Amino acid sequence: MGFFSVFVFLILCSFEKDIAVAAISPEPHLLPHTTHTVEVNSLLPATTCNPSTKGHTNNKATILEVVHKHGPCSIFHKSSKTSTTKGDDKYHAQILKQDEARVNSIHSRLNYRIHHPFTQSAATTLPAKSGLLLGSGNYFVTVGLGTPAKQLSLVFDTGSDLTWTQCRPCLRSCYTQSEPIFDPSLSASYKNLSCTSATCTKLSSAVIQHGCSSASSSCVYGIRYGDGSFSIGDFAKEKLTLTSTDVFEGFLFGCGQENEGLFNGSAGLLGLGRNNISLVEQTAMKYNRFFSYCLPSTSSSTGHLTFGKGGGSANGVKFTKLTTLSKRASSFYGLGLTGISVNRRQLPVASSVFSSSGTIIDSGTVITRLPATAYRALRDAFREGMKNYKMTTSISLLDTCYNFSGYKTVSYPGIAFRFGDGVTVDLDPAGILYVVSSSQACLAFAGHKDDTGLGIIGNVQQKRLEMVYDVAGKKVGFAPASCP
């Protein structure tokens, strides 16, 4: 099986962490209070889908519909045994456990010297499938691939670069997906890349590896995720159809012949990271590295992913500087988070606590992670604001949970992020609690063991905000309530 033996141990070089220096910024604008009062029912997902967007191109931008993987809008919903609508705490415990696995994998990409066990033997001796799907707290969009175009639902991920899908004949293995598996032999536009091409060599990075198929001298890729899941296959060119007017010839992607673990149900992954191979970079000529998205407040509504300027609510966007934490973290979107306020009161945490570990924003992480000191202060302030409610048991990494049963409406503190350039962003009311059921609603933040852990702004906190990525302009923007 020369096909798979091309992967060799990779020793990652140690690297120097660039430490963002935070500027001292003015006090945030003071308002009387920002407590949110919401109906308990509105926090719980509905059982029917209320779609709000359909994929289309207006004269300025290309808009795709964003759907929560396990909500009623999802094509996976009917077949799925688990459903967010049941408030099943085993299901939620699993999502949170998967979220831990993702965060661990981000840390291992950034912080440690790793011997990547990416060899044939390692791939076959991976621990038995954990039975977990890392992407289950995630969102997906549908794109067309090939000629004629086949529709594929892909998890969209700002934390990774390579776009891949499972491919027939699934030489080694494919997991179960909802749509038919992509078959390159039925596409007139599919092309393997030669393994001597510069494009093949360009693949190599900490997480993506390349090699040469002994049979056809074509380029082979391998990508491995933190929990041992992986995709290996042909690195190829294909026609990518986002909408009827936005078609990209020769889009580079992974045609996975051996896929395991992560993305059960969805056909693969749409990489929106910052490295050359990502969709953002490959479509730079058309969209100039500009995209935005809105994640819906519950799994029963839909959001949007928009490429190009001029989509949706361009008004009221507050931009903060996009940073790169380190060379190894270069595919992540770094932000200069320096403080957090609860009901407009700044937490008593030095900005250096945030800036020394650095912060990224990631569409694939569910719960926001903070340095230990910052999380403790946030939790204390939040609990203080919630002292009229009965606390209930923790779930997984969430330790500040309330029992809202018997309440029609509840009030909870507003939370805002402050960035080094003085920008303050209020989270949407939907971006504060992780609601397991009406009797268990938890503060959707978690702390690292100490202050060295990377800050990660997760997707709960991004809910309903228009998240604007102007990569060419080196800034990321936030605008309030742009989807249901």
Point out the residues that are catalytic. Answer: 157, 362
Q: Is the dihedral of CA 374, 418, 140, 233 positive or negative?
A: negative
Considering only 210-218, 223-231, 299-307, 381-389, which stretch makes contact with ligand NAG by CB under 6 A? 210-218
Give the torsion through C-alpha atoms of 258, 262, 265, 269, to 10 deg.
Answer: -80
331 is an interface residue for ligand NAG by CB under 6 A = no
439 is an interface residue for ligand NAG by CB under 6 A = yes
Shortest CB 26 distance to ligand NAG, Å: 38
Q: Show the CA angle centred on residue 484, arms to residues 435 and 323, nearest 5°.
A: 80
- Alpha-carbon distance 4 to 231, whole Å? 11
Q: With respect to ligand NAG, which residue has the nearer C-beta, 6 or 337? A: 6
Q: What tokens does 28 get?
A: 């945030």
Shortest CB 88 distance to ligand NAG, Å: 14
Q: With respect to ligand NAG, which residue has the nearer C-beta, 186 or 350? A: 186
Choose, by CB under 6 A, the member of 213, 299, 323, 396 that binds ligand NAG. Answer: 213
For residues 77 and 273, the answer to whether their CB atoms sit within 8 Å is no
Number of residues that bind ligand NAG (CB under 6 A): 23
Nearest to 235 by CA among 268, 264, 209, 271: 209
For residues 357 and 369, the answer to whether their CB atoms sit within 8 Å is no
Nearest to 156 by CA among 29, 345, 304: 304
Q: With respect to ligand NAG, which residue has the nearer C-beta, 108 or 130? A: 130
Q: With respect to ligand NAG, which residue has the nearer C-beta, 255 or 415? A: 255
Q: With respect to ligand NAG, which residue has the nearer C-beta, 26 or 131? A: 131
127 is an interface residue for ligand NAG by CB under 6 A = no
Cα separation values, 466 from 66, 70, 423, 425, 463, Å: 13, 22, 15, 11, 8
Window 215-274: residues binding ligand NAG (CB under 6 A): 215-216, 218, 220, 234, 264
Three-class secondary structure of residue 339 per DSSP:
strand
Q: What is the CA radius of gyration of the chain?
A: 22
Cα separation values, 273 from 93, 124, 263, 280, Å: 28, 28, 18, 7
Q: Show the CA angle centred on residue 397, arms to residues 395 and 398, nearest 5°.
A: 60
Window 337-396: residues binding ligand NAG (CB under 6 A): 392
Q: With respect to ligand NAG, which residue has the nearer C-beta, 427 or 436? A: 436
Q: With respect to ligand NAG, which residue has the nearer C-beta, 195 or 479? A: 195
Binding characters for ligand NAG, 394-423, by CB under 6 A (x = yes): ---------x-xx-----------------
Binding characters for ligand NAG, 166-205, by CB under 6 A (x = yes): ---------xx-------x-----x-x---------x---
To the nearest 5 percent, what fractions of the chain are helix, strand and coil? Answer: 15, 35, 50
- Alpha-carbon distance 381 to 377, whole Å? 6
Choose, by CB under 6 A, the member of 13, 131, 387, 388 that binds ligand NAG. Answer: 131
Shortest CB 80 distance to ligand NAG, Å: 8
Nearest to 155 by CA among 81, 251, 256, 263: 263
Window 299-328: residues binding ligand NAG (CB under 6 A): none
Considering only 15-23, 85-93, 156-164, 211-219, which stretch makes contact with ligand NAG by CB under 6 A? 211-219
Shortest CB 261 distance to ligand NAG, Å: 7
Which positions touch ligand NAG (CB under 6 A)?
131, 133, 175-176, 184, 190, 192, 202, 213, 215-216, 218, 220, 234, 264, 275-276, 392, 403, 405-406, 439-440
